[in-house]
Amino acid sequence: MNSKYEKMIENLKSLGSVAVAFSGGVDSTFLLKAAKEALGNNALAVTVRSCIIPSNEICEAEEFCKSENIRHIICDVNPLDINGFADNPTNRCYICKKEIFSLIKQVAAENGINAVAEGSNLDDNGDYRPGMKAIHELGVLSPLQTAGFTKQEIRDVSEELGLPTWNKPSFACLASRFVYGEKITAEKLERVGKAEQILRNSGFKQFRVRIHGDIARIELLPEDFEKMLKMREELYASIKALGFSYVTMDLQGYRTGSMNEVIATDK
């Protein structure tokens, strides 16, 4: 087994118990699997259910915990009720994560758990991520970063472990689809969620639908451009029917954090 993984297992064992912020994605699934291996029943999964996370992600998180016999707590949170979140400032992620991880820490304490951990990896250091400030302020651990895992390494070891998420597309909360400063509402979140479901149902794997007012900007992997063009009229009609005035395709293609490209930051 990978030496980084073995080192991480030992570090997790030293905690005695840990609550993993579990989204059901590639990174947190890998971390939770390691926590279960290291600590057995002293590993707890905590999942936040909210309007910025599609319901299928919650279902997959539940299924994984059941299959691995991992104790799982689901907390309901409405980010739109968090002061300042809906205004969508450039530090929106900090505002949200400070609230959510404070809740996860509370859940961990109520269940006698010593530490809280989350699934950021080394590649996450290359983008503007104000949420990491909140994580550091709250003393939440990032075992994947500490062990030196990149995203690809996580996928590789996940495949070795037989995890169903090893080739799962990367995902970020739906709030990340909006241009900074645009008001986030439940209606808009539902609209973008439906737009992305249309692409998912059409067979696309890795994508984003970014929202700029009444414009939907679709990011796809370059190798999927030809497929998009073949389905152009059908997809245009379906997504426009959700209430968008314009539906466009970004020629640069899919990339994480594209909404951060227009802001200046010292990270």
**Do the domain assignments include residue 155?**
yes
**Do the domain assignments include residue 166?**
no
- Examine the domain organization and report whether 136 and 179 are in the same domain: no
Active site residue 93: no
Which of 161, 190, 212 is the endpoint of a domain?
A: 161
Dist. CA 215–CA 48, nearest whole Å: 29
Structural domain boundaries, residue 256: 174-262
- Decide: pTM greater than 0.75: yes
- Examine the domain organization and report whether 57 and 127 are in the same domain: yes
Q: Which of 51, 65, 96, 173 is catalytic?
A: 173
For 173-199, the pLDDT digits (tens) are: 999 999 999 999 999 999 999 999 999
Kindly tell me the sign of the dihedral angle through the C-alpha atoms of 140, 107, 128, 200.
Answer: positive
The Cβ of residue 263 has, within 10 Å, a number of other Cβ atoms equal to 9
- Examine the domain organization and report whether 91 and 187 are in the same domain: no
Please, what is the average pLDDT of the chain?
94
Instruction: Tell me how long the chain is.
Output: 267
Angstrom CA distances, 78 to 43, 44, 201, stand at 26, 22, 27
For 206, which DSSP code?
S
Q: Looking at residue 266, what is its pLDDT?
A: 42
**Do the domain assignments include residue 168?**
no
Decide: helix, strand or coil at residue 61.
helix
- 5, 30 in Cβ contact below 8 A? no
- Examine the domain organization and report whether 98 and 184 are in the same domain: no
Residue 138 pLDDT exceeds 50? yes
How many separate domains does the chain show?
2
- Examine the domain organization and report whether 78 and 13 are in the same domain: yes
What average pLDDT does this structure show over 14-33? 98
CATH number at residue 242: 3.30.70
The Cβ of residue 173 has, within 10 Å, a number of other Cβ atoms equal to 20
- Examine the domain organization and report whether 79 and 129 are in the same domain: yes
For 195-243, the pLDDT digits (tens) are: 999 999 999 999 999 999 999 999 999 999 999 999 999 999 999 999 9
- Examine the domain organization and report whether 19 and 142 are in the same domain: yes
At 112, the pLDDT band (50, 70, 90 cuts) reads very high
- Examine the domain organization and report whether 136 and 248 are in the same domain: no
Token pair 């250091």 is found at: 125
- 44, 73 in Cβ contact below 8 A? yes
